């Protein structure tokens, strides 16, 4: 970090808020929300703040140019009171935070910590899975009851504002987390026949059907999808010979599974073998949410359409599922596009941002757009020497 770099970022943030339509930033029931803010290098420098109107919020944003702005999932009678008990809790949205830094999204090509297209696409796929498979498919929410925004850095935030969720306890929210991201499901729960020792697979081996609700249906559907290739089945830990046979006989095997009879799968009839397959599918089909965000009714989260001071991107609102499917944060979340800067950069890989690719750099000087310079600067990969 440098004085010039920090000064540039703060001025850019101030310009952004000066020109912003506050109606696109201010949350509903603004006077009942707790707010917090951070500075470069410190995400939460202060909290227990409140604003009565959108205009009051805008005045603060322009005057202070905070690097981070957060607001509460909760509604309070006295949002700026402290300690917390004096706020008087009125209810909380249900929120989910998905971050590409999670181990599930480790890239096989790039080093840990480098935000690449592979990781961004993986976390977006899981965000869609959370919305379509769990929130809509399992919990019966409608799309209009779900708000989506890019986190401004490495993932996505989901906000559920349906009245029915506002009074959920911390324990109930934790139960939702455990359903969306279960640690395990015992093999004998899905396949009761495994509770007794078997020497060979019986002619009838009851198991989950794809039209069943919950994880029974999810597991059956996922296994049917894997039948499309031997490689996919081997990815579950099934040995090559059996995987090839299952793929070759996939129509017959699928018919049996749809009827709830898994006998044609003919995996070794041991609880350990089936548990390995179950855990592999759970890893793929569960969503790696930050449970601390979801289960804590008082948690603060990035205010949508504000600047993320760790990237220089906008924590941009995404209007619909269809918009999320085509959303590219490295293009669509750029906050400022005018101007260039001279940087000295040291990056292990090339950076794709905007419509161009820059680097890799080895302690080299380069002239790049402001948005690329600030991104690399805030990520710690470059220093800004001058601006144009």
Mean pLDDT of all residues in 357-379: 96
| Domain spans of the chain, in order of start | 3-181+289-332, 187-285, 340-387
Whether 112 has a pLDDT exceeding 80, the answer reads no
Give 3-state DSSP helix, strand, coil % of the chain, rounded to 5. 40, 20, 35
Is residue 180 a contact partner of residue 130, using CB atoms and an 8 Å limit? yes
Whether 1 has a pLDDT exceeding 90, the answer reads no
Cβ partners under 8 Å of residue 305, min gap 6: 20, 24, 25, 149, 314, 315, 316, 317
Is residue 68 a contact partner of residue 44, using CB atoms and an 8 Å limit? yes
Supply 184's token pair: 């395990």
| pLDDT tens readout for residues 130-186 | 999 999 999 999 999 999 999 999 999 999 999 999 999 999 999 999 999 999 999
CATH topology (fold) of 340-387: Ribosomal Protein L9; domain 1 (3.40.5)
Architecture of domain 3-181+289-332: Alpha-Beta Complex (3.90)
CA separation, residue 81 to residues 32, 105, 114 (Å): 11, 39, 40
| pLDDT tens readout for residues 255-314 | 999 999 999 999 999 999 999 999 999 999 999 999 999 999 999 999 999 999 999 999
Residue 346: per-residue pLDDT: 95
Q: Specify the pTM.
A: 0.94
Q: Would you put residue 88 in left (φ > 0), alpha (ψ -120 to 50) or beta? A: left
| pLDDT tens readout for residues 210-268 | 999 999 999 999 999 999 999 999 999 999 999 999 999 999 999 999 999 999 999 99
| pLDDT tens readout for residues 321-349 | 999 999 999 999 999 999 999 999 999 99
Q: Which residues face 97 on adjacent strands?
A: 157
| pLDDT tens readout for residues 31-44 | 999 999 999 988 88
């Amino acid at each position: 970090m440098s004085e010039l770099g920090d000064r540039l970022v703060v001025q850019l943030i101030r310009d952004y808020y000066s020109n912003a339509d506050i109606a696109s930033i201010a949350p509903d029931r603004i006077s009942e929300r707790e707010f917090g803010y951070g500075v470069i290098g410190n995400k939460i420098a202060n909290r227990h703040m409140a604003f009565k109107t959108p205009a009051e919020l805008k005045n603060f944003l322009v005057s202070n140019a905070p690097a981070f702005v957060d607001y509460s999932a909760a509604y309070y009678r006295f949002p700026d009171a402290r300690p917390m008990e004096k706020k008087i809790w009125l209810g909380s949205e249900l929120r989910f935070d998905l971050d590409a830094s999670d181990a599930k999204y480790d890239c096989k090509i790039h080093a840990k910590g480098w935000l690449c297209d592979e990781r961004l696409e993986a976390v977006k796929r899981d965000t869609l899975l959370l919305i379509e498979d769990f929130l809509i498919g399992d919990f019966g929410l409608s799309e209009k009851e779900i708000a989506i925004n890019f986190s401004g850095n490495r993932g996505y935030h989901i906000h559920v504002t349906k009245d029915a969720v506002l009074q959920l306890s911390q324990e109930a929210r934790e139960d939702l987390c455990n359903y969306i991201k279960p640690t395990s499901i015992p093999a004998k729960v899905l396949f009761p026949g495994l509770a007794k020792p078997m020497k060979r697979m019986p002619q009838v081996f009851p198991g989950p059907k794809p039209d069943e609700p919950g994880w029974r249906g999810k597991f059956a559907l996922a296994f049917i999808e894997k039948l499309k290739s031997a490689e996919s089945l081997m990815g579950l830990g099934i040995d090559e010979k059996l995987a090839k046979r299952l793929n070759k006989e996939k129509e017959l095997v699928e018919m049996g599974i749809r009827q709830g009879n898994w006998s044609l799968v003919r995996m070794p009839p041991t609880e350990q073998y089936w548990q390995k397959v179950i855990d592999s599918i759970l890893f793929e089909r569960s969503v790696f949410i930050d449970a601390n965000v979801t289960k804590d009714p008082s948690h603060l989260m990035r205010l949508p359409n504000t600047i993320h001071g760790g990237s220089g991107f906008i924590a941009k609102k995404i209007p619909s599922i269809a918009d999320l499917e085509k959303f590219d944060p490295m293009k669509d979340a750029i906050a400022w596009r005018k101007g260039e800067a001279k940087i000295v950069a040291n990056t292990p890989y090339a950076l794709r941002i905007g419509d161009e690719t820059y680097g890799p750099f080895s302690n080299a000087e380069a002239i790049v757009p402001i948005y690329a310079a600030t991104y690399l600067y805030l990520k710690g990969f470059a220093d800004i020497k001058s601006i144009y």
